[in-house]
Every structure is written in C-alpha cells, then in structure tokens.
C-alpha cells in the first residue's frame, strides 16, 4: 500500500495542473541563426545558391541514415563479437 501512495500523489499533481498551461510555449527571446544570416545576406544583395544535392525532396536523407545505421551496426556487431566472444575464449585457455 505504501508503494502505491507516491505514484498516486505524483499522478494527481500532474493532473491538477491545467493542460493548457503545459501546452503554452514561452515567447522566443532569441532569433535563430539562419534568420539573422538571411537578413544580412539580403542586406548586401547576396542570394542563396541551390544545393549540389537537393535533400528537400524524396527520401535521400532517410536512405543516407539507413546506410549509416547498417554500416554502424556491422562495425559494432563485429567489434562486439571480438570483444565479448573472443575475450571469453582467451580467459578459458589460461
């Protein structure tokens, strides 16, 4: 029974607070760096160039992250096998 009191009190406290107060975000005090840079570039008449590889369309970024995940999984899996399996085998021989 005592273990149940703290979770019930925490839940009651969180529900007591109005949901609208949790959803409101404080006003932003700082502007983003990209906004400031774009303003400076417009002031001096510079234009943004088109990127060499446009990642705004399609699933190119998803594909790159998937390749990175596969390669990282391969490397970590291979190194994990070397560390955990082969190190255990060395300990048994001694």
Query: H helices within 1-94, ranges in order?
Result: 2-16, 19-23, 33-43, 60-93
Residues with Cβ < 8 Å from 60, sequence gap 6 or more?
A: 53
Residue 54 confidence (pLDDT): 80
Segment 42-86, tens digit of pLDDT: 999 988 788 888 877 788 889 999 999 999 999 998 888 887 877
What does pTM read for this prediction?
A: 0.41
Q: Are 53 and 60 in contact (CB under 8 A)?
A: yes
d(CA 82, CA 74): 12
Q: Are 49 and 43 in contact (CB under 8 A)?
A: no
């Amino acid at each position: 029974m005592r273990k149940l009191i703290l979770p019930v009190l925490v839940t009651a406290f969180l529900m007591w607070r109005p949901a609208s107060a949790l959803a409101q975000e404080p006003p932003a005090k700082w502007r983003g760096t990209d906004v400031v840079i774009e303003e400076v570039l417009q002031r001096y008449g510079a234009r943004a160039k088109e990127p060499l590889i446009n990642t705004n369309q399609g699933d190119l970024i998803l594909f790159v992250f998937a390749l990175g995940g596969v390669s990282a999984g391969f490397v970590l899996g291979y190194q994990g096998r070397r560390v955990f399996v082969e190190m255990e085998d060395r300990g048994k021989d001694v």
